[in-house]
Structures are given as C-alpha cells and as structure tokens.
Amino acid sequence: MSLRGVLVGCGFFARNHMNGWADAAGAEIVAVCDLDPAKADDFAGTFGARAYTDAAAMLAAERPDFVDVATTVGSHRTLVTLAARHARLVICQKPFAETLADARAMVAACEEAGALLLVHENFRWQRPFRALHAALPRIGTPHFLRLSFRHRFDVYANQPYLAEVDDLALTDVGLHLFDVARFLVGDIASVHCRAQRLNPRVTGEDAFLASCGHVSGAVTSIECSFYTTRHPEPFPETLAVVEGETGTLALGRDYRLTLETADGVETIDAEPPLPAWGERPWHAVQDSVRALEAHAVEVLEGRADPQPSGAHNLETLAVTLAAIRSARTGQAVDVADLLREG
C-alpha cells in the first residue's frame, strides 16, 4: 500500500514538491493545505488531492504517514511541532529555522513524538553533487573546497518576499552551500565571512564570501552573489572544485565534472535528468526535489536515515548564524561557541 502524505503550503516552490511526489514510487499526497483557499483548491484540482485551509484539521482528518511542510520559515516551528504529533516523518523546507531555539524546539518535538525529521536541503541531492561525492575516494583526503553560486537571475519575481530578507544571500542560499560543504568535506568548525549589499532594490545583503575551517583541517571558500552579470546566465548552477591528496574534482558550467590526476583528465557524467514535468535550466533543481522525495520514501521504509536530519541541519543553521555574526563583527566565529551560547 502506498504511503500517504499531506503537504502544507501551496506556494511557488511547492509545485515542484507536488510534481516530484507524483513521480515517487510508493508514496502519494492525499491532501494539501494553504491559508489561501484558492491556492489549496488549485493544487488539489491539479494534483488530485483533498483541499484544506487549516493544517490541524487536515492532520486530524487524514492521519498521514508523512507531512511535507513547504511554507516559509516563520511558520516552521508551529507546523513541524504540530505535524510531529500526527505522522511518522516530517519534512521541512529550508531555512529550517531563524534561531537555534526554534530549531532545537522542532528537533525536540519530533524526538518526543517519535517522528523522524528530514530537512528539505535539496542542493546535496542535486545530481552533480551526488556524482562529485561518489568520486571523492578517487582524489584521496580532501583539503580544499570552493563553491561558487553567482548569478543575476531575478529571484524576486517568483519570491517577492526575498527582497526584504535580512542577510538574504546567507539565509536563502548560503545555508544550502554550507550543507553541501559539510556533505563533501565534513563538519565546519569556524567561519570568517564578509557580506555585501549590491542590488539597491533589496533590503538585505545579497552577496557574501565565506572562509570555513573544517574539523578535519580542510578549508572551504564559498562565493555567493545574486548580483553578478554573466552570459549565459548561470542560475541555478553551482560551480565547485575539490582538491585532494591525489587529484582534483572540478564541476564547471553545464554540469561538466572532471577528475584531474597526475595521469590526465577524465570526464564524469553529472548531467541531471530532465523530469517529464521539468524544464531546462531548472532540471537540476527539479530532479533534486524528486531525489529528496525518493529518499524520504526510503526513510519511511526504514532503509535510510534522514539526510539531512533536523539535528544535523541545526548545526548547519549554527554555521549560517556564525557567518552572519562574522560579517557583522569582522571576526572569525567558532561554531561550537555559538552552539554553546544557546
């Protein structure tokens, strides 16, 4: 029998969630909910689900196996805490939380209720990063990572609320990049960060440069900008270089992944597949949502642990908050100190 899921928040990005769930083997979304009845009805009609405007009423009536929370960050604590009491798995979109207190409350609520918690960190589920991760043993112990996400795509057209987010680049995309850095190279111990406000149309800082020291001794440089003109427009691609003891892996434009060693250069296939409902150049993002949802089914079936779990993502939030503090003070910030502060 198919696993029964419900989705909360029928907004811009949730359409990818719903298309992805329609592709998921072994799971289906039986009901959707939005405060705006027109949005809930639209999703329900398009995807064949029941519509609600109240999450508590939906959860009580539907008794789902899993809840997919696709709302913006301000509602996460309330919705995740509620969902934990009604389902075996809660999936929460990023940013998981704005504060460590909120993140801790959600992790605790899920633990107390015996529910699993998976954060929708889909960058680490992008095909190029999976291919890069799989190839890491071929370059020996990594000592350097560079991630570059620089573009001028008008993200404010689909997500107008972003124009008023403080620390925009760090909280919208920075946390994805910190998660990828942890996925590829391991935990981050300290961060030094400089942020810039480049686009006069937005309130928050829309670019940053972060230097991370990993527990392993490796270092990572992260360069992110929402105000960089290139042609062709690179959005939504992330470029990456990982240097290891015996080689370098480089992820370039058009998902070209190369392995460079003393013996020469090998090209590795990292092109994301195009979902039947997808469209270039969004396919890397669309396929990553589908991959994360396939992973959620594995988690529900007991075949995998959440990647990343709420507890893991709480530490990625701490890295992000450390970067914000560093950008304000000009000092490097120790992630463990920040976690100890509460």
Ligand X SMILES: NC(=O)c1ccc[n+]([C@@H]2O[C@H](COP(=O)([O-])OP(=O)(O)OC[C@H]3O[C@@H](n4cnc5c(N)ncnc54)[C@H](O)[C@@H]3O)[C@@H](O)[C@H]2O)c1
Residues that bind ligand X (CB under 6 A): 8-14, 33-36, 39, 55, 70-73, 75, 79, 93-94, 120, 122, 159, 285
Of 136, 124, 137, which is closest to residue 241 (Cα–Cα)? Answer: 136
Contact 77, 284 (CB under 8 A): no
Spatial distance between the Cα atoms of 270 and 259, rounded to a whole number of angstroms: 12
* Residue closer to ligand X (CB basis): 94 or 151: 94
- What is the number of the residue whose Cβ is closest to ligand X? 11
- For 172, list phi and psi in degrees, rounded to 5: -90, -50
* Residue closer to ligand X (CB basis): 10 or 27: 10
* Residue closer to ligand X (CB basis): 119 or 333: 119
State in angstroms the smallest separation of the CB of 112 from ligand X: 21
Contact 319, 178 (CB under 8 A): yes
Contact 78, 9 (CB under 8 A): no
* Residue closer to ligand X (CB basis): 32 or 115: 32
Contact 100, 310 (CB under 8 A): no
* Residue closer to ligand X (CB basis): 74 or 140: 74
H-only helix segments in 143-197: 155-158, 168-169, 175-185
State in angstroms the smallest separation of the CB of 39 from ligand X: 5
State in angstroms the smallest separation of the CB of 72 from ligand X: 4
State in angstroms the smallest separation of the CB of 9 from ligand X: 3
Contact 95, 176 (CB under 8 A): no
State in angstroms the smallest separation of the CB of 150 from ligand X: 17
Amino acid at the residue 21: W
* Residue closer to ligand X (CB basis): 14 or 338: 14
* Residue closer to ligand X (CB basis): 129 or 247: 129
State in angstroms the smallest separation of the CB of 254 from ligand X: 20
Quick one: CA dihedral 216, 219, 225, 231, positive or negative? negative
Contact 292, 120 (CB under 8 A): yes
* Residue closer to ligand X (CB basis): 10 or 270: 10
State in angstroms the smallest separation of the CB of 224 from ligand X: 14
Q: What is the 3-state secondary structure (H, E, C) of 207-267?
A: EEEEEEEECCCCEEEEEEECCCCCCCCCCCCCEEEEEECCEEEEEEHHHEEEEEECCEEEE
State in angstroms the smallest separation of the CB of 230 from ligand X: 20
Quick one: CA dihedral 95, 100, 69, 291, positive or negative? positive
